[in-house]
Amino acid sequence: MSQTLYPETSRHSGFIKIINKSLADLWFFLRTNRWTSFTSETVRPMLILIHALALCAVFVRPTWKDLALFISLYLATGFGITVGFHRLLTHKGFDSPGWITALLAFLGTASMQGGPLWWVSVHRKHHQQSDRDADPHSPQYGFIHGHMGWMFKKGGLESYPKLVRDLATNKFLVLLDSGPLSIVPWLTTIIACYLIDGFRGIVWGVGVRTVFVWHATWCVNSVCPRLGSKPHKLRDNSGNVWWVGLWALGEGWHNNHHAHPRAAIHEFHWWEVDLSAYFLRILESVGLIRNVVRAGPETEIQKG
Ligand SMILES: [Zn+2]
Ligand SMILES: [Zn+2]
């Protein structure tokens, strides 16, 4: 991507520079119609637009219908990330039939965190290089970098195709990752929210919900290493934070997860609430998934 396609705004600084840069990105996004391209030029305006949409909630007092839409889509797209992208596609934490894999990948893509292959490749890189220089979102470069700043850095959205060769044979995942199908999950939720609840539905079911899920995911990479407890002594800084655990549907038990990356159940004690684990147990009990990996010696990484 040529850097000369839109002008730099070097004569400004601080907030003005960010606004100018964002407007330039937005113009580039609209002008080139790169709706399916996952680059910093398309991601930055998307982040800003969705946050702006969420801010409209200040003027749209929620009804029970708005809240029901928000909660149901938060759980559906959140589990798409935690159970689908993370515990199934990245770590192979359980076995599922093709239609469950496809449904979870569809829901994960609807959370607007990129396609499944890109997301998984970045997360596998993160586990491989935790808190080393090559970690895509280590908070060792600052809290904001670990939270969301890494996506704004040059090369921050790089994908690692070699790390997802196993998934590249699944045509549906490849279609969700790039090309026209990649925006179908977003459009589906946007249209459904509008049909159910009009503009209010878009504000609460798309704007607020997406921002809520985004920051939950990002807190795992920013808050957990900073504030988290570290019951497992590991090479990296991954930590457990109970409120991120609740908010991010169990992903806040991040130190547990780094100690046993393949385990699909992240709660090691009854008080470590992992809503994704509850969901997995339900799916397992009705026979929809099998071989759910629990923490044990075979899932433990080498300490030190
Ligand atoms: Zn991690
Ligand atoms: Zn992981």
Ligand 1 centroid to residue 221 C-alpha, Å: 6
Q: How far is ligand 2, taken at its centre, from the CA of residue 109, in Å?
A: 17
Q: Where do the H-state alpha helices sit in the chain?
A: 14-32, 40-55, 64-79, 98-109, 116-128, 143-147, 171-177, 184-201, 209-227, 242-247, 254-259, 275-285
Give the largest CA-CA distance in the chain.
61
The CB density around residue 172, as the number of other CB atoms within 10 Å, is 15
Q: What is the pLDDT of residue 2?
A: 35
Which ligand is in closest contact with the Cα of 222? 1
Whether 159 and 137 have beta carbons less than 8 Å apart is answered as: no
CA distance 217 to 251: 8
Give just the sign of the alpha carbon dihedral 97, 102, 105, 106. negative
Q: How far is the CA of 260 from the centre of ligand 2 (A)?
A: 9
Structure tokens at 20: 């100018």
Phi, psi (deg, nearest 5) at residue 280: -65, -40
Answer whether 206's CB lies under 8 Å from 189's CB.
yes
Q: Phi and psi dihedrals of 281, rounded to 5? A: -65, -35
Distance 13 CA to ligand 2 centre (A): 37
**d(CA 108, ligand 2 centre) in Å:** 15
Measure the CA–CA gap between 78 and 201, rounded to whole angstroms: 18
Residue 171 CA to ligand 2 center (angstroms) comes to 23
Please report which ligand is nearest the Cα atom of 239: 1
Which residues are 229's β-sheet partners?
A: 240
- Given a contact cutoff of 8 angstroms between Cβ atoms, the answer to whether 94 and 284 are in contact is yes
Ligand with minimal distance to 254 CA: 1
Q: Which ligand is nearest to the CA of 240?
A: 1
Between the CA of 155 and the centroid of ligand 1 the distance, in Å, is 20
For residues 226 and 217, what is the distance between their CA atoms, to the nearest angstrom?
Answer: 15
* CA of 121 relative to ligand 2 center, distance in Å: 11
Residue 127 CA to ligand 1 center (angstroms) comes to 6
- Residues 240/255, Cβ–Cβ less than 8 Å: yes
Task: Please tell me the distance between residue 209's alpha carbon and the centre of ligand 2 in angstroms.
Answer: 23
Of 216, 221, 241, 222, nearest to 231 by C-alpha is: 241
Tokens coding 190: 């946007």
Q: State the Cα–Cα distance between residues 191 and 300, nearest whole angstrom.
A: 43
Give per-residue burial for 191-218: e unless 16+ CB within 10 Å, then b: ebbeeebeebbbbbbbbbbbbbbbbbbb
Distance of CA 126 to the CA centre of its chain: 13
Ligand 1 centre distance from Cα of residue 144 (Å)? 16
Tokens of 105: 């990948």
Whether residue 238 contacts residue 225, with contact meaning beta carbons closer than 8 Å, is answered with yes
The ligand placed nearest to the CA atom of residue 225 is: 1
Ligand 2 centroid to 17 CA: how many Å? 35
pLDDT of residue 44: 76
CA 169 to ligand 1 center in whole angstroms: 26
Task: Report the predicted TM-score, pTM, of the whole model to 2 decimal places.
Answer: 0.87
CA of 56 to the centre of ligand 2 (A): 33
Q: How many A from CA of 256 to the centre of ligand 1?
A: 10
- Two tokens at 147? 């939270």
Encode the chain (304 residues) as per-residue pLDDT tens digits.
333 333 333 444 556 665 666 666 666 555 554 444 555 566 778 888 999 999 999 999 999 999 999 999 999 999 999 999 999 999 999 999 999 999 999 999 999 999 999 999 999 999 999 988 899 998 888 899 999 988 888 788 888 999 999 999 999 999 998 877 888 999 999 999 999 999 999 999 999 999 999 999 999 999 999 999 999 999 999 999 999 999 999 999 999 999 999 999 999 999 999 999 999 999 999 999 999 999 977 788 755 4
DSSP state of 9: -
Ligand nearest to the CA of 255: 1
CA of 11 to the centre of ligand 2 (A): 41
CA-angle at 233, arms to 232 and 236, nearest 5°: 105
**In angstroms, what is the span from residue 54 Cα to ligand 1's centroid?**
27
